[in-house]
Amino acid sequence: MSRLQVVSGKGGTGKTTVAAALALALATEGRRTLLVEVEGRQGIAQVFGTEALPYEERKIAVAPGGGEVFALAIDAERALLDYLQMFYKLGSAGRALKKLGAIDFATTIAPGLRDVLLTGKACEAVKRKDKKGSFVYDHVVMDAPPTGRVTRFLNVNDEVAGLARFGPIHNQAQSVMKVLKSPDTAVHLVTLLEEMPVQETADGIEELRAAGLPVGRVIVNMVRPHHLDEAALRAASGELRTGVAQALSRAGLGGARRGGPAERLVGPLLEQAAEHAERVELEREQRSVLRGLDLPSYELPLLGGGMDLAGLYDLAAELRKQVEAE
């Protein structure tokens, strides 16, 4: 798999959880991954149930087989200070600029610069090597902005074109885009089997492709189990009241007479069955739309007990299984 895994998705689809599970899945069998957050929400810390992440790479989890997951919450101001030190050797002068509010001013009036700093930090981690010449991280997973903003966020070359056509900023943007548009990168979109998230996923894929950014996979999250077989699903939309009432009566839940205990249970049971059948049909329609996008996909189940650390490891195991099956 590509070394930089970018995860985006419509709000509410669970993209941060999926990014965390993917980082765990890729870290199995002794590998090291870096999970990067760029939106300042501390979502990664919440998923792993740990304290807020500082602007430094910190180990937050151990994967099966002894692998390690590190995490980093990238702060645009701190990244700009690093940038000023790297290219201009400002040192204490850069810190003075921060105190004067110049750093915040610069990233506010030039949001393209902010995106260069955030993506640049992640790309630096992708390329970083140790003294032996080996990559420090086998994979870097970025919890990116939502689908509606991810193309503009990643396409930093266009954003910076109006700021600098040459010099260090321009060169930094070129270096970032060299990574982002290479086979080293894959942009995955997380969706649910619902109309709005699927449509936004389709629109996002079109925008990414138009920008020349490498689209990876569609990750369908929170997939619900199907409780009825095909015959039962077809029947759920029909008139089953008499048959269900008789079945309940045979089960000892009272006579099938009108108004009896069995009769009073029929309505709610049929209503639930009809709702389930309707949901299954909706999911089939959305799966058909996703197949039309001509992209491979992964599916992650809806966890009935809610999301906790154990559930995160379960999702990671499921992802790993699907990755290895390719």
Q: What is the pLDDT of residues 239-257, one digit of tens each?
A: 555 556 566 666 665 554 5
Helix (H) or strand (E) holding 56: none
The reported pLDDT for the residue numbered 307 is 85
Taking only the tens place, the pLDDT of each residue in 62-119 is 999 999 999 999 877 777 667 665 554 545 544 554 554 544 545 554 556 778 878 8
Residues 149 and 166 in one domain: yes
Residues 86 and 28 in one domain: yes
Are the C-beta atoms of 68 and 62 separated by less than 8 Å?
yes
Q: What is the pLDDT confidence band of residue 26, given thresholds at 50, 70 and 90?
A: very high
Residues 200 and 108 in one domain: yes
Provide the CATH number for the domain around residue 47: 3.40.50.300
Q: Contacts by 162-171 with C-beta closer than 8 Å and gap 24+?
A: 162/112, 163/110, 163/112, 163/113, 168/87, 168/88, 169/113, 169/116
* Average pLDDT for the chain: 82
Residues 93 and 142 in one domain: yes
Provide the residue range defining the domain that includes 9. 4-224+302-324
Residues 251 and 218 in one domain: no
Residues 174 and 49 in one domain: yes
Residues 210 and 244 in one domain: no
Q: Is the pLDDT of residue 169 over 90?
A: no
Instruction: Give the residues across from 8 on adjacent strands.
Output: 189
Residues 102 and 214 in one domain: yes
Residues 264 and 316 in one domain: no
Between the CA of residue 246 and those of 52, 230, 276, what are the distances in Å? 58, 22, 22
Residues 147 and 103 in one domain: yes
Determine what percent of the chain is predicted with pLDDT higher than 70: 70
Residues 247 and 269 in one domain: yes
Q: How many CB atoms are closer than 10 A to CB 281?
A: 12
Helix (H) or strand (E) holding 271: helix 261-291
Residues 73 and 214 in one domain: yes
Q: Report how far residue 214's alpha carbon sits from residue 224's, in angstroms, rounded to the nearest whole number.
A: 29
Average pLDDT rounded to a whole number, residues 196-221: 96
Residues ≥6 apart with Cβ < 8 Å to 176: 116, 119, 120, 123, 156, 157
Q: Report how far residue 56's alpha carbon sits from residue 99's, in angstroms, rounded to the nearest whole number.
A: 21
Domain count, the chain: 2
Predicted TM-score (pTM) of this structure = 0.81
